[in-house]
Structure 1
Amino acid sequence: MKKIFIPFYLLIAALLLTGLLGCEGPAGPPGDTTIANLEGFKEGIKCGDCHNPDTDTVNYVWAKKYQWEKSKHFYGGTFADRNTAPCAGCHTTEGFIQRARANFPAQVAPTVWSVVTKQTNPTPVGCFACHSPHSNGDFRRRTEASVVLWSPMEGISDQTIDFGKGNICLNCHQPRSSYTPRMKTSMGATDTLKITSSRWYPHYGVQGLMFLGSGKGGGFEFPGKTYENSSHSSQTGITQNGCPTCHMVDPTAGLNGGHSNLIGYLTASGTEAFNTNGCLQAGCHTGTMDVEKYIGASSSLTGGMGAYEYVHAYLDTLGTLLADKGILNSSGLVNGNNGTSNASSSNPRTFVGPDGLLKAGALYNYFFIEHDLSGGIHNSKYAIQLLNNSIEEMRKP
């Protein structure tokens, strides 16, 4: 019996193996295309196209990863606790991709971006936020389409901006529509502006509107005053590609430029330094530069101080003046009318009439300039004029 059945079993096994190798079963359902599966893969793409064991002299993926780890996109985006639907669209890779897939719809208060959901497993804003290399087969940006910047100023229209490669940055580096009430541009004798939140400002992404400058709804422009922009706002080399022109230039070392987005940085010895490769491009500045002390066309506004130094120094002055009048507290937040505790629905900060409007404007400008984070460099003339006029107003009785 053993001599008969052993060959029989071998024959059955061979037939089964042949069937498995020679036939295909029915196609399965489409694969998952969430971020966990990297949005699928372009037909014909090979891992070795980008991931190779030799020195990468084409895409510099590993170098860019190292640069990114020095950026605020990596360590400063608070992705872990800003993963709710109103925040995740800019604070997480997953939320940003949701917006990108919907072609970056306009902001809708109070949900801000209706296409974004809470991210329970968030990751910081990284490579796959701005790029989709597996599905595209290259490192092009997800989009370079023009961007609509929401206006935080009542009566001033939203602004459409086209800065080429920098447009993808401006999808987040713009004001948020979740702050209320919007800053007014005029008020009658009995009109009021009632603030019920200690964080009365259009979030921290005001860089786009600071860059656009005068008349675009960024800062509060005091009636009767004149406002100008610095050359950054009109210089062709910058306006063609926006933020990357200065923030993503070739690094001078692994601590700046590129995907670190850093111009100012700390050296290995802990001293502050600046990557001025973007400043010294053709058509821009020439020679060596001391960024902190650079005066340029703003000298008549600063009394000879460098614009960067001036903005930092006098922003502190404006903050002190606002605190002296009980408008700001020691935490840098808005006080209610009692002058001692945070503004809230039960303790609002109320500004009345034309004079109140000017005080509210000074408060608004304080946050606008502070949250721009460039020390005036993005648009020095505009920032300094807003700052000077705000200080002048707050020094009045």
Structure 2
Amino acid sequence: MNRVPSALITGLFAACAGIASGQTPPSPEEILSAWLTSPHANSQSEAFRHWDTEGEIPGNCAVCHSTTGVTDYLASFPTVAGVIDHPVPIGTTVECAACHNPGAEALREVLFPSGQTIAMADGSAICTVCHQGRTSADTVAAALGGRAEDEVSADIAFINIHYAAAASTQLGSVVRGGFEYPGQDYAGAFAHVEGLNTCVSCHDAHEITIELSACTSCHQGVSDLRAIRTTPTDVLGTGDISSGIAIVIDDLHARLEAAIMAYASGVGSAPIIYADHAYPYFFNDLNADGAVTEGEAAYPNRYQSWTPRLLRAAYNYQFVSKDRGAFAHNPHYAMQLLIDSITDLAEVAPVDVTGLVRP
């Protein structure tokens, strides 16, 4: 059962709901109702039950998976992004006190896994503490060292960005959340229009949902967020410049998966498959049928025939996969990462890059 702390009623600060000037703020009862429908309140989800057997949440997970962890993290400026030096008890979700506490209210700078500290004074800082992922381009580069591009190494393991890294997508090359290929320029922070340029100006602060009507004043006639187009560039080389940019990103994402599979089977001689909901996501394709079949998406069958080139591409594939809103958070950055990964694999594998135009 969810614990509803008394701070819900008394501890809300002014920016809690992203209320525009002149609007009537929601009542405490409305805030409670909204929060209870959100993933942050789902006490039965894996995000909050994963450590039931252990009875405590380790410090490298507690910050984003418990109210106690995040309040401890915000009590002093951190030295490692998203990590505290002690475990915390199980039993909390992301409750009111997680976002409404003195540390959260005073938060003006956020540390990212790349080591960058970003100034934020727009109400997005507390969201960004958790929605930034756990790794960066620097993590990947450090793991690969000076190894030969296409040499399989037992010392390489898959590196997972983790979940819902929207802030790293939105800030792009400023925080280097995706792997950025040397010699290429990457989009920086994605600036939306005034009034819709923070987390809580697009997402309801408590329910987390997005109100489409906030978008249609500019994107007229749109009935689906994924139908919004953000570039006139014919990225896919098909002549279609009207489809939603989400559709373009989906196409590139699927092409990258096919390229990863072509490379792994050809250059690495070890077929690979991807399973979106099974850690560590990439597995040996035992029957080489290109699909996840029974028994394959299991940890003992995890993929272990990594080369530096393959890991970089797989990392970027996962980076985009785990931010379902990449098309809105920073579409150009997402497309650049995908196209560069496809192009890099195409240097040594039978991958078709015909028509692709990097935005």
Q: Considering the TM-score relative to the shorter chain, is it more than 0.5? A: yes
- Over alpha carbons, which structure has the higher Rg? 1
Secondary structure of the 2:111 match is strand
> Residue 97 in 1 paired to residue 54 in 2?
no
TM-score by length of 1: 0.63
Give the equivalent residue in structure 2 for 1:64: 31
Structure 2: runs of 5 or more not aligned: 12-23, 265-269, 289-295, 351-359
* Amino acid paired to 1:317: R
Decide which of 273, 284, 290 is 1:329's aligned counterpart: 273
CA distance in 2, matches of 1:212, 1:180: 13
Q: 1:344: Cα distance to partner? A: 7.7
Q: 1:188: Cα distance to partner? A: 4.3
Aligned pairs (5 A) from 1:67-82: 67-75=34-42, 78-82=47-51
> Residue 308 in 1 paired to residue 246 in 2?
yes
Give the equivalent residue in structure 1 for 2:62: 88
Count of equivalent residues: 300
CA distance in 1, matches of 2:27, 2:5: 23
Secondary structure of the 2:140 match is coil
- Kept in 1, the 8 Å contact 2:168–2:177? The answer is yes
Q: 1:97: Cα distance to partner? A: 1.9
Q: Judging changes above 3 Å, is the alpha-carbon distance between structure 1 residues 212 and 193 closer, same or farther for their aligned structure 2 residues?
A: farther
Secondary structure of the 2:48 match is coil
Q: 1:90: Cα distance to partner? A: 0.7
Q: 1:164: Cα distance to partner? A: 2.0
> Residue 371 in 1 paired to residue 334 in 2?
no
> Residue 221 in 1 paired to residue 180 in 2?
yes
Decide which of 204, 208, 212 is 1:276's aligned counterpart: 212
Q: Percent identity?
A: 22
Give the equivalent residue in structure 2 for 1:50: none
CA distance in 1, matches of 2:297, 2:327: 30
Give the equivalent residue in structure 1 for 2:126: 168
CA distance in 2, matches of 1:306, 1:317: 17
Give the equivalent residue in structure 2 for 1:184: 141
> Residue 113 in 1 paired to residue 84 in 2?
yes
Give the equivalent residue in structure 1 for 2:293: none
Give the equivalent residue in structure 1 for 2:209: 262
Q: 1:312: Cα distance to partner? A: 2.4
TM-score by length of 2: 0.68
Q: Judging changes above 3 Å, is the alpha-carbon distance between structure 1 residues 313 and 62 closer, same or farther for their aligned structure 2 residues?
A: farther
- Kept in 1, the 8 Å contact 2:108–2:119? The answer is no
Q: 1:94: Cα distance to partner? A: 2.1
Q: 1:176: Cα distance to partner? A: 1.8
Secondary structure of the 2:88 match is coil
* Amino acid paired to 2:310: K
* Amino acid paired to 2:345: M
Decide which of 307, 319, 332 is 1:381's aligned counterpart: 332
Structure 1: runs of 5 or more not aligned: 1-34, 43-56, 152-156, 249-257, 264-274, 352-356
Give the equivalent residue in structure 2 for 1:8: none
Secondary structure of the 2:139 match is coil
CA distance in 2, matches of 1:131, 1:193: 48
Give the equivalent residue in structure 2 for 1:12: none
| Deviation string, structure 1 residues 333-392 (Cα, Å, up to 9, x no partner) | 2347999887889974332xxxxx433221111011111221421001111121122233
| Deviation string, structure 1 residues 277-330 (Cα, Å, up to 9, x no partner) | 44357xxx3534342222122543244231112222332332233234246425
- Kept in 1, the 8 Å contact 2:133–2:163? The answer is yes
Decide which of 174, 190, 210 is 2:169's aligned counterpart: 210
Give the equivalent residue in structure 2 for 1:349: 305
- Kept in 2, the 8 Å contact 1:144–1:165? The answer is no
